[in-house]
Structure 1
Amino acid sequence: MFNSHIRPFVVLLALILIGATTCVALGADASRRGLDLRSVQPRVSTGTADQPFRMAPATARTLQTAAPDRATGLSFDQPLVSTACTPGLPQTVTLKLANRTGAPGLVRLEYVIDDAQGFISGPESVYLGAWDEAAIDVTVVADPALPPGQTISTSVLALGLGISAATDIQSLMALAAWELIATEPDSGRMDNVVAAYNGLAWSITGYGGNANVRVYNPATDAWSTVAGSAPPFGVNYARSGAVYGSKVYMYGDSTTVGFTGLWSYNMATNVWTHETPTGTPAPPAGIWAPAWVADPETGILYMTGGATNPGGGNLSTVYVYNPATNAWLASLPNFTTARDFHSAFIFRRPGDNRKLLCVAGGITSTSVELTSTQCYDFNTGSWNAENADVPAIPITLWGMGYCQVNCGKSQLWMAGGVTNYLATVLNQSYYWQPGAASWTSGGVFPSPAVYRTSAVALDGTIYKLGGSTGGFSPTGTASRIEVCDVFDLIFVDDYGRSKLCINSDTGDYVYHVLTGTGAGEYSGTGVFKAYNYGYYFYNQDGNPWLVYVNHATNINRATGYLKWGAKRINSVLYDRITTDNPDSCD
């Protein structure tokens, strides 16, 4: 589905391995587990900037994990360092090594990357006084061929005669990098509403050259325009929306004539509707730059913050809409700091599994740029303190695109935006995974820096679409990053003819015809029907082909097909043992 030439970047989780007093002690530790250090010589690289890389024993494999004694021993200040680098290019991180032994000594440093996944270098040794500290610059160059999703290890060993030590171990994770995709037609748009539906990324509306709905197909890296799709109110500044089923909902922007109240666009039927929900509507007929978010469990949609007029945010409201009944529900309590051009997320908190609705970043009516976050606890019916559940964003940020993706755990992503009072428009991204102490850099996207942009997650990939490069200058340049493979049901034909990957949460699928007529990928959305011994899955997306699979879970067997009569495609799938299938759809 994706370009095989995506260049991955690396999120470096530095393994700070502090060795024992001597190599003999290390060998003794290894021998207790039946290993011989002298025989452990995988390909690893170590060296300094001014000498050739040399081989070193992979001592990291033989050490048992333990916590360092930072009060009395030898330790690095950070057992875990997170940074981003591009394979093939050097990335330097600074570590601080402290001697708390009460005795001076020379500490030898060794650097290891397992299985020749790249190079790591730094100083060979450092002299530390009795209570001394030293900064150590470590440079990592990851293998340019490192594939997305590959997990590798790197380590720094501090070996000091007569100095006790401990061991910290973490892992090095390779993730995909941002890549350019095809440019959206008609110079794109800013303040844009985007959506994911039927295996496609949709650019619904916003401010730009025209108001046509446009669709991006990841399989072909191509855009198309939906004929007769412009809304009756024309170009606008909707900024965000939320999806339920095949419809994406948005609210009037307080400035565009005819664009007031709640509107929807049906991606399956190409129909715009000025909705007339029951219940009490939001008092303003238009809201400038709110942040919408959908609850994936209930389908309820939330419109947070915004402004009553163009400018910074003066609303801290949360309006609640039930698309299943077309009704406004009771609003949530207001959050603390009014804001617009912000982001909004819904996820469950690790530990107690409580559902939270959170806002992050944005700008106020007095032009104060925000780093703060705040979360509403559905269990208590109240807002927690700012930054109590989600850490503050590393920089002031507003006008960013935002979305969330589930890679086993939710990840909250933000891309682009502006900081420093409009002085710095960004092409940087950040993400936060619930439970983490801080936000992590998600890398730099190659399309131009933008703000008043949007992002959407589709099948584990995040798409940053459109935005403004400055003022009212929309762009159609776009980027994507493959974060994870979200297909959790994978069926592989025993004879190599086909493969079917399904997301059990959304019903999204990709059917791979691997041989014969019509070889290629066919994506869409389907539904499940359970029976006594398993379930059926079939597509219900309006596509001209038929996809079907019967999974008999009692005997772990699946049979299915893809048929397209007009194209004479008749692909068969027979998976006799479904328990031995791969974990990834790649």
Structure 2
Amino acid sequence: MLTRSLPPALALLLLLCFSCATRRTEVARVGEWETVETATKPVARHEAAFVAVGDRYYLLGGRGIRPVSIYDTRTRQWTEGARPPVEIHHFQPVVYGGEVYLLGAMTGGYPGETPLPHVYIYSPATDSWRQGHEIPADRRRGGAGAVLHEGLIYLVAGIRDGHRGDHKPWLDAYDPATGEWTRLPDAPRPRDHFQAAVVDGKLYAAAGRTTVAATNPFANTIGAVDVYDLASQQWTTLEEEIPTRRAGTAAIGLPGQLIVIGGESDTQELAHAEVEALDVSSGQWRTLPPLVRGRHGTGIVHDDGHLLMASGCGRRGGEPELADMIRAAVR
């Protein structure tokens, strides 16, 4: 930038503006994954949820009715909590008001699982479950992405008929304080078996598939990444697809980036160990260190300078269910 012929004050202003325009969010670096040694083990499960509330981690749901597994970061021990009132699986949890909200979930056995008609809430403070608001009958689905943003829970996409079909591109905003549901613009495409994340005021829907058990339940994986601007309420699709197509992934938003982890596909028997990060400023993907063991059907926690995962399934499908915890440092 040429500033010599300009008055000093104007030159300084232009330099400051140029600096602001070119400044980018510093992207965190994710290190190698390792197994966390713990005094006890959680209940093995998959198609479940993993969240942090306070100084404890919680594994919830999964196929069958599994008790909550609670990890105390101070004692490094897992203990068992309450069992849910119904079977809850294929959902992305949301922590709101110190409680865990479960919606966009399935119940029942493969391949004809049905969407749960109500929101279910787990209270870590009392180790108890309760049934929450009813979900509108014409917006029920499972395998959907769910994120919290400014007091609202956004539920995106999903599948209505278990693993058999009826995939939806729907987007809804649910107010957990009032129970109100608001229909928002449909995503550019349907998808299920994925997790969503919010980065810099935008909701990202990446990975997943449109499941059809009758032909190949692991096929139809999706490469396109759809982005919803929460302020303008408009969808766009990124030019660059996710490098490794897979479903059953975990996802998390970190400053300036979306991270997609693990999964399953029809390209390999083992669950995916890939960890891939999208720089939301450039729209470019990069490869991060892989998991120490691939897995699908669980979640991801960011706490105490680490990304952590627990449980999941080590091969595509339902076996073996894992009972471990792994982590990678975030710097």
TM-score by length of 2: 0.78
Q: Does 1:316 align with 2:169?
A: yes
C-alpha contact 1:305 1:315 (8 A) present in aligned 2: yes
1:411–1:199 CA distance, 2 compared to 1 (3 A): farther
C-alpha contact 1:369 1:398 (8 A) present in aligned 2: yes
Q: Give the corresponding residue for 1:253.
A: 106
Residue aligned with 1:283, SS: helix
Residue aligned with 1:327, SS: coil
Q: Give the corresponding residue for 1:438.
A: 284
Q: Does 1:341 align with 2:193?
A: yes
C-alpha contact 1:195 1:201 (8 A) present in aligned 2: yes
Give distance in 1, aligned partners of 2:259 and 2:301. Answer: 9
How is 1:16-165 mapped onto 2 (pairs within 5 angstroms)?
A: none
Q: Does 1:206 align with 2:57?
A: no
Residue aligned with 1:346, SS: strand
Give distance in 2, aligned partners of 1:416 and 1:175. Answer: 15
Per-residue deviation, 1:422: 5.3
C-alpha contact 1:292 1:302 (8 A) present in aligned 2: yes
Per-residue deviation, 1:257: 8.3
Q: Give the corresponding residue for 2:265.
A: 419
One-letter amino acid of the counterpart of residue 178, structure 2: N
How is 1:247-326 mapped onto 2 (pairs within 5 angstroms)?
A: 247-251=99-103, 252-255=105-108, 259-276=116-133, 281=136, 283-285=138-140, 287-295=141-149, 298-311=150-163, 314-323=167-176, 325-326=177-178
Return the match for 1:360 from 191, 206, 229.
206
Q: Deviations over 1:108-140 (max 9, x none)?
A: xxxxxxxxxxxxxxxxxxxxxxxxxxxxxxxxx
Residue aligned with 1:301, SS: strand
1:428–1:221 CA distance, 2 compared to 1 (3 A): farther
Higher relative contact order (CA 8 A, sep 6+): 2
Q: Deviations over 1:345-366 (max 9, x none)?
A: 1122xxxxxx211211110145
Give distance in 1, aligned partners of 2:107 and 2:158. Answer: 10
Give distance in 2, aligned partners of 1:192 and 1:302. Answer: 19
Q: Deviations over 1:177-215 (max 9, x none)?
A: 21101477365210111211112221122126x511112
C-alpha contact 2:42 2:78 (8 A) present in aligned 1: no
C-alpha contact 1:201 1:458 (8 A) present in aligned 2: no
Per-residue deviation, 1:340: 0.3
Residue aligned with 2:227, SS: strand
How is 1:501-512 mapped onto 2 (pairs within 5 angstroms)?
A: none
Return the match for 2:35 from 180, 187, 202.
180
Per-residue deviation, 1:222: 2.5
Per-residue deviation, 1:314: 0.6
Q: Give the corresponding residue for 1:243.
A: 95
Per-residue deviation, 1:424: 4.8
Q: Give the corresponding residue for 1:482.
A: 329
Q: Greater strand percent: which structure?
A: 1
Per-residue deviation, 1:220: 4.0
Residue aligned with 1:211, SS: coil
Q: Which runs of 5+ in 1 are unaligned?
A: 1-172, 349-354, 485-586
Per-residue deviation, 1:259: 4.6
Q: Give the corresponding residue for 2:14.
A: none
One-letter amino acid of the counterpart of residue 318, structure 1: L
C-alpha contact 1:305 1:317 (8 A) present in aligned 2: yes
Q: Deviations over 1:528-583 (max 9, x none)?
A: xxxxxxxxxxxxxxxxxxxxxxxxxxxxxxxxxxxxxxxxxxxxxxxxxxxxxxxx
Residue aligned with 1:431, SS: strand
Q: Give the corresponding residue for 1:223.
A: 78
Q: Give the corresponding residue for 2:12.
A: none
1:175–1:249 CA distance, 2 compared to 1 (3 A): closer
Q: Which runs of 5+ in 2 are unaligned?
A: 1-27, 213-218
Residue aligned with 1:275, SS: strand
Q: Does 1:369 align with 2:226?
A: no
One-letter amino acid of the counterpart of residue 483, structure 1: V
Q: Give the corresponding residue for 2:243.
A: 394
Q: Does 1:404 align with 2:261?
A: no
Q: Does 1:450 align with 2:295?
A: yes
Give distance in 2, aligned partners of 1:174 and 1:265. Answer: 33
- Number of aligned positions between the proteins: 289
C-alpha contact 1:182 1:222 (8 A) present in aligned 2: no
Q: Deviations over 1:508-546 (max 9, x none)?
A: xxxxxxxxxxxxxxxxxxxxxxxxxxxxxxxxxxxxxxx
Q: Deviations over 1:379-421 (max 9, x none)?
A: 332212x215xx421111111122223xxx2432222102345
Per-residue deviation, 1:264: 0.9
TM-score by length of 1: 0.46
How is 1:518-529 mapped onto 2 (pairs within 5 angstroms)?
A: none
One-letter amino acid of the counterpart of residue 283, structure 1: D
C-alpha contact 2:173 2:182 (8 A) present in aligned 1: yes
Give distance in 2, aligned partners of 1:174 and 1:330. Answer: 37
Q: CA RMSD in A?
A: 2.6
Give distance in 2, aligned partners of 1:431 and 1:218. Answer: 27
Give distance in 1, aligned partners of 2:195 and 2:136. Answer: 22
Q: Deviations over 1:11-33 (max 9, x none)?
A: xxxxxxxxxxxxxxxxxxxxxxx
1:347–1:282 CA distance, 2 compared to 1 (3 A): farther
Residue aligned with 1:418, SS: coil
One-letter amino acid of the counterpart of residue 374, structure 1: D
Per-residue deviation, 1:218: 3.4
C-alpha contact 2:270 2:314 (8 A) present in aligned 1: no
One-letter amino acid of the counterpart of residue 72, structure 2: N
Give distance in 2, aligned partners of 1:292 and 1:457. Answer: 17
Residue aligned with 2:47, SS: strand
Q: Deviations over 1:132-170 (max 9, x none)?
A: xxxxxxxxxxxxxxxxxxxxxxxxxxxxxxxxxxxxxxx
Give distance in 1, aligned partners of 2:207 and 2:328. Answer: 22
1:328–1:431 CA distance, 2 compared to 1 (3 A): same
1:222–1:200 CA distance, 2 compared to 1 (3 A): same
Give distance in 1, aligned partners of 2:43 and 2:99. Answer: 25
Report sequence identity in percent: 20
